[in-house]
């Protein structure tokens, strides 16, 4: 194994830096900036059974050290992804994690079944934690029984590594993660955004048409780190840390807390090269310290 390689269950990633769902399109949008295949992987925008237009504008606004989004899972749908996007990603040699979303267990299963017919999908990430839709999303991710039910149903129809993405709004996130682990999840990704809102004081109007939106960016990082740390003590399967990762130091915090890999999200909006820079910095750190990524996982000490 090279210094940077990590195993997420049976899946060998050539490094632990991925991009987060919804912040990197379908990967192809970034081709002009760098070779996306250099990353550990990309998580696609959340794919639904049918195409979705998402919420009306305004769907995004900036807040201190963070942003709010209420995109509402606009996406091309799983069929168009398989025919238009995946063949190019496959040809480029990109490691693809298909993030999927549905408002019923049967639709989650149908999307997974469609993906099962394709080569070049390296893992499936279940989004049971989106705060910006009326049905599905958080309903599944807050309840250990429902999260377990979706995980078990998708597990039955896919041989692919199965990751489940946690919501920071689950009352007992450890219980949700454990329930998914028990039903055959190969990894837990943590975390999705947390609901917030913003008001334009001049007009006294809410800044997002959806009223609330998911908070992401550096402001989320301490919350995400705390959750990764708690999960690392409670589950056996690998954890993938997400929340405000913009630099190699941020990624190191997550690895030290017990994550086996990280996803770079909001940082890509202000710097399209953010994920590549995180990877470059991590490689330099490992070489400088003469350590491999596996040595870094869970290094943090309370005292």
> Of these, 39, 166, 180, 220, which contacts ligand FMN (CB under 6 A)?
220
Interface with ligand FMN (CB under 6 A), residue total 24
Site string for ligand FMN, 244-283 (x = CB under 6 A): xx-------------------xx-----------------
Identify which of 155, 164, 129 has the alpha carbon closest to the alpha carbon of residue 238: 164
Is there a contact between 187 and 153 (Cβ–Cβ < 8 Å)?
no
> Of these, 188, 216, 231, 260, which contacts ligand FMN (CB under 6 A)?
216
Q: Binding of ligand FMN at residue 16 (CB under 6 A)?
A: no
Structure tokens at 281: 């910095």
Q: Binding of ligand FMN at residue 151 (CB under 6 A)?
A: no
Q: Binding of ligand FMN at residue 39 (CB under 6 A)?
A: no
Is there a contact between 292 and 4 (Cβ–Cβ < 8 Å)?
yes
Is there a contact between 166 and 177 (Cβ–Cβ < 8 Å)?
yes
Of all residues in the shown chain, the one whose CB is closest to ligand FMN is 22
Which residue, 111 or 287, is less far from ligand FMN as judged by CB?
A: 111
Residues 6+ apart with CB under 8 A from 63: 196, 198, 215, 219
Residue 2: CB minimum distance to ligand FMN, A: 25
In three-state secondary structure terms, 116 is: helix
Residue 242: CB minimum distance to ligand FMN, A: 4
Greatest Cα pair distance, the chain, in angstroms, is 57
- The question of whether 130 is a catalytic residue gets the answer yes
**Number of H helices and number of E strands within the chain?**
11, 16
Identify which of 38, 153, 49 has the alpha carbon closest to the alpha carbon of residue 98: 49
Q: Binding of ligand FMN at residue 21 (CB under 6 A)?
A: yes
In three-state secondary structure terms, 157 is: helix
Q: Binding of ligand FMN at residue 19 (CB under 6 A)?
A: no
Q: Are strands 17-19 and 41-43 parallel, antiparallel or unpaired?
A: parallel
> Of these, 4, 6, 45, 151, which contacts ligand FMN (CB under 6 A)?
45
Distance between CA atoms of 94 and 263, rounded to whole angstroms? 15
Residue 1: CB minimum distance to ligand FMN, A: 27
Catalytic choice (43, 82, 130, 180) = 130
Identify which of 163, 164, 274 has the alpha carbon closest to the alpha carbon of residue 217: 274
Site string for ligand FMN, 102-141 (x = CB under 6 A): -------------------------x--x-----------
Residues within the interface to ligand FMN (CB under 6 A)? 20-23, 45-46, 69, 71, 73, 99, 127, 130, 165, 192-193, 216-217, 220, 242-245, 265-266
């Amino acid at each position: 194994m090279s210094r940077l390689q990590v195993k997420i269950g049976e899946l060998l990633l050539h490094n632990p830096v991925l991009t987060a769902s919804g912040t990197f399109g379908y990967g192809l949008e970034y081709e002009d900036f760098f070779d996306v295949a250099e990353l550990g992987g990309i998580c696609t925008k959340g794919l639904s059974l049918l195409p979705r237009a998402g919420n009306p504008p305004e769907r995004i606004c900036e807040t201190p050290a963070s942003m709010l989004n209420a995109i509402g899972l606009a996406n091309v749908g799983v069929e168009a992804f398989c025919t238009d996007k995946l063949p190019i990603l496959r040809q480029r040699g990109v490691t693809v994690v298909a993030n999927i979303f549905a408002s019923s267990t049967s639709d989650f299963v149908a999307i997974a079944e469609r993906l099962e017919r394709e080569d070049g999908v390296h893992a499936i990430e279940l989004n049971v934690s989106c705060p910006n839709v009326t049905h599905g999303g958080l309903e599944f991710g807050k309840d250990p029984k429902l999260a377990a039910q979706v995980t078990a149903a998708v597990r039955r129809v896919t041989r692919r590594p199965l990751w489940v993405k946690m919501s920071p709004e689950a009352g007992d996130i450890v219980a949700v993660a454990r329930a998914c682990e028990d039903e055959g999840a190969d990894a837990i990704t943590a975390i999705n955004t947390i609901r917030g809102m913003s008001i334009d004081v001049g007009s006294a109007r809410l800044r997002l048409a959806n009223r609330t939106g998911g908070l992401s960016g550096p402001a989320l990082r301490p919350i995400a780190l705390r959750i990764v740390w708690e999960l690392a003590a409670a589950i056996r399967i690998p954890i993938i840390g997400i929340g405000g990762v913009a630099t190699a130091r941020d990624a190191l915090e997550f690895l030290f807390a017990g994550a086996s890999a990280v996803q770079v999200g909001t940082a890509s909006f202000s710097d399209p090269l953010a994920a590549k820079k995180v990877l470059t910095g991590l490689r330099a750190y490992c070489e400088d310290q003469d350590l491999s990524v596996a040595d870094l996982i869970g290094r943090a000490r309370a005292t």
